Structures are given as C-alpha cells and as structure tokens.
Amino acid sequence: MKISSVKIISLLFFVLSAFYLYTANQIQVFAFDVNSPFNAKTFPIYLGYAGMFFAGLQILLPEKSVEKVNHNVLDYKKVIYLVIIMIFYGLTILKVGFFLSTSIFLLLSYYFLGERRWKLMLIFSFPFVAVFMFLLHGALNIYLRDPLLKYLGIIG
C-alpha cells in the first residue's frame, strides 16, 4: 500500500500537534493561576487538540484525488542553491556588513539562476545596493551596520 504525500504531511502535523500539546502542558503557570478558568496554557492546549483532530481526520478519511507532484520536473537544485546563498547572506550580513554581503548575495543569485550578462549583473548588485543604502541612510535615516564601509570611512 502506497501512502500519499498529503497523508505523510498530515501525519507529521499530527505528531507536531501532539508535541505542541505536550509542550503546552509543560508551561509553568503561576501558583495562583493553576486553577483559574483560563491561564497561559489553556489556549495552546485547545490548539494542540484541534491540530490533532484535523490532522487525524485528514489521515483517516479517504482522499478525493491523490495530489500528484511530478518531482522530475521540479528544479530542486536551484532552490537549494538559493537557500544556501540566503543562509550565507544571513551569516555574513552583520560581520561583513550590509553593502558587501547584499551585493554578493544578489550577484550569486543572478548567477545561479542562469544569468550571464555580467554588465547587468554588476549594475544590479554593487551600484544598486549603494543607491538603496543611500536612500535608507539619507532619506529614511535608517542606520545600517557596515564594518567595511566604516573602516573605509564612507559611513560614520
């Protein structure tokens, strides 16, 4: 018997709801609040039950039509690349600074999505981010931490 992906997702949601319910029961409420009709864990407990109820129904009831996704035509490689670039961006934004990390993020994203017009890629990375930073700093007065530009004396 083959179990459909939707049922597997529902099963995962059922487990998540059960864990949520368990965690909700572990919430430490104040001693005077324990027997109160409503305390910090009441609503989450209801949600845990509700999640298990709906996920349980989805698992138990027969499916109208099995949701078929053709994984062969999906471009997982590019999505994984983009996710890695975004994580890399998140890791470097504070240490390297907004300007360099954002420009490299954009440049790498264009490249991995198949763009090879280097002139355009460069225009829409470094100068684009510079203009964006100028607008944030100059127009909206939003401070952006950038150790590199600070070291170079471009921003204060």
Among 3, 72, 73, 153, binds other proteins (CB under 8 A): 73
Applying CB under 8 A, the site for other proteins has a residue count of 67
Among 15, 25, 43, 118, binds other proteins (CB under 8 A): 43
Please state the closest distance from residue 153 (CB atom) to other proteins, in A.
Answer: 22
Q: Residue type at 4?
A: S
Among 15, 22, 25, 120, binds other proteins (CB under 8 A): 120
69 part of the interface to other proteins, by CB under 8 A: yes
Among 9, 100, 122, 130, binds other proteins (CB under 8 A): 9
* Cα 107 from Cα 149, distance rounded (Å): 19
Burial 108-122 (b: 16+ CB within 10 A, else e): bbbeeeeeeeeeebe
Q: For the chain, give percent helix, strand, coil, nearest 5.
A: 65, 0, 35
